[in-house]
A and B are shown apart, each in its own frame.
Chain A
Amino acid sequence: MRVTSFHFMPYRELPEDFTERYSSSFVEAPWWELGDADKVGQFYDWSLDELMHAARLGFDGVGTNEHHQNVYGFMCNPNLFGAVMAKMTRDEGIDVALVQLGATLAATSPPIRIAEEYAVLDCLSGGRLVAGLPLGLGVDANVSYGITPIEQRSRWREAIDLMVRAWTAKEHFAWNGKHYQLPRVNLWPRPVQDPHPPLLVPGAASSSTWDYCHDRDLPYAYLSYFGGRSAQAVMDRFWDRAEAKGRDRNPYRASFLQLVGVAETDEQAEVQYAKHLEFFYHKLLNVPQTLLSPPGQSDYRSLLNLLSTNLIGHDVTTGLSAKEMIERGFAVVGSPATVRDQLTEMAARLNVGHLMVVLQFGSMPHDMAMTNIDLFAAEVLPALQRLYPEDQYENRWWPRRLTKTPAGGAR
């Protein structure tokens, strides 16, 4: 199994009555009442330190993403932070993947800007990029960036095709697309990885995205905040679609995101992480559905699927205590043995070969996050990395330079 340390870079200090005062952590929480630029600088610095700490302790990847106008996670461009990681890990000789999960193509115009930035990261890191291709939240793309909701998905698809062609073409070309037109494309620079970095498609249970992945033989990262138990139905359907599309059950086709808190004992972990979990679930995740995904953003089939199967809205966290959320498995919190067992069981049950762990969440202070990373790296990570050995399960979706099998080169 490949384990990535993922970071949202949240705003770590918010007033007690945040949820009563503001209807949403995205768009509605006003900078002029809550934001402090000096603190933001501190939060970014801590977050980068936490990612570097994970890189030094042997995680397979470090992950960043993109959101706008919010307190939940405010990396407006993950590639700014990916560039820092590329430079620092290169200087220290750390063979860690840069999992950019990622820059949102549909909200960037023209999208070859991201093809360029990803190529920069791949060059600077010597071929360690995993190129994430998020569709993007509607609240980001539609509301913050003004992209027409019903066009977001087709812009995204076209942008991926344009990016891959711009990375690989051996001639100048003109792009006459539905959404983008470029008279003469000759991308500089191009990625180190040949023909291009591995792609990774994150999603939030849209059936269209599963089909897209299986049609193109791409891996899927299910970004759920409700743990492995609630993800079962979604991942079962993902694997059903794989079978229907003639794809095997190679676990490296799938990735799962999980909030994790480790301490010496279960009891200690529960006490220590409680308020940071509640901060995350109650304050940061508070986004109304209509804002999260404005009409048209989800295509009709996915929409009907979500409404019919009641996948929307059954994971309500309002009023739940941290203890209840831990019991329901939203977050994996406990002693090293508890966390190891739960994650191992989850990896097997969901059949996922890639795990993205979030070890700093909500208001968690820097020193606690560093200790969490220490404990995870020492007590949990080695056991997870032994799962799904890559001489038995081919991982075609990871930078070749970092492959663990003899055929793939040295690690």
Chain B
Amino acid sequence: MSHPTQSAPHHRDFAGTPANVAVRTVPIAHCGFEAKVKVAGSGPPLLYLHSAGGPGWDVFLDALAEHHTVYAPDHPGTGDTARDAIHDVDTLWDLVLIYDEILDALGLTSVSVVGTSYGGMMACELAAHRPDRVSRLVLLDPIGLWRDDAPVAPYMLLSPEQLVATLFTNLEAAPVQEFLKMPSDPKELAVRTADTIWSLGCTGKFVWPIPDKGLRKRLHRITAPALIVWGKEDALISPVYAQEFAGRIAHARVEIIEGAGHVPQWEQFDRVRPLVLDFLDGRG
């Protein structure tokens, strides 16, 4: 099965895909998915899984690419992939197998995996499914567990204004400001808005209506050392979840970041960057 990628509108992300980032087309047998993987940098391979808001290139990815070859696949239906591709990915199992096959296609037997928010959940799912394939795991405010006393915010139901207020505590941080900049051209703005909403819908397929799809039972399978980074003021997913993840992963370390909400790698970039890079280098 093939997807008419030419029908997918050109993706415009908040930072604009820089010239040093290549987009590689990777056809996958599972679900007939034609994956699109952003590739940048040099060094040991690293898989980066983006958040529910969609793939975009940011300063944190630049930092990772300074020391690693970064592979950042677009979630099915988002970024450069065909919008309707999501309809062929029926279950979370399908999605995990897609990531497994993307690693096959890229010739990567073992990689570090960094995931933010929704991408953090997918990083855990991949590492639980194929513990042998994941050498190090970095989770930035991951979704995927549920506590009745600390419910995850219903982020898909929030207005754009409410969502921004829920995501960030440090709005002044330069990467946050960069993200909040909207295109002035009405047509570009419509595409950007539609892409963001659709991305929430495509990722929401695997977490709706409660983001608790059994990961709790699978986390024990993860063997890679894990760094769990959490914004202390995260209003979307409470930092109490840091210990919920850490308690179930054999080798996990937690770093709580002051002055950060749901996106600590933007809100406290200078603090998070060395933490993550050192950990990936085996120094953490």
Contacts and interface: CB of A to CB of B under 8 A. Distances in A.
A346 interface: no
Interface stretch (A142-150, A181-189, A265-273, A386-394): A142-150
A295 interface: yes
A295 B204 CA distance: 8
B187 A294 contact: no
Nearest to B84: A300
Between B83, B90, B191, B209, the greatest number of chain A beta carbons within 10 A of the residue's beta carbon is seen for B209
A296 B205 contact: yes
Interface string A293-326: 0111110110110011000000000000000000
Contact of B198 (A142, A143, A146, A303): A303
Contacts, number: 69
A178 interface: yes
A154 to B, nearest CB: 6
Nearest to A309: B190
A164 interface: no
A296 B198 contact: yes
Given A143-B157, A148-B208, A307 B193 contact: yes
B209 A295 contact: no
B200 interface: yes
A303 B194 contact: yes
Interface in A228-277: none
A122 B186 CA distance: 49
B201 A307 contact: no
Interface in A108-154: 142-143, 146, 148-151, 154
A295 B197 contact: yes
Interface in B44-89: 77, 83-84, 86-87
B159 interface: yes
Given A290-B158, A294-B157, A149 B190 contact: no
A300 B198 contact: yes
Given A146-B209, A304-B190, A304-B194, A295 B201 contact: yes
A291 interface: yes
A113 B191 CA distance: 39
Interface string A57-83: 000000000000000000000000000
Contact of A148 (B77, B187, B191, B205): B205
Interface in A281-296: 288-291, 294-296
Nearest to B87: A154
B187 A308 contact: yes
A157 to B, nearest CB: 11
Given A146-B209, A150-B86, A296 B187 contact: no
Given A154-B87, A290-B159, A295 B194 contact: no
Contact of A295 (B9, B90, B186, B200): B200
Contacts of A146: 208-209
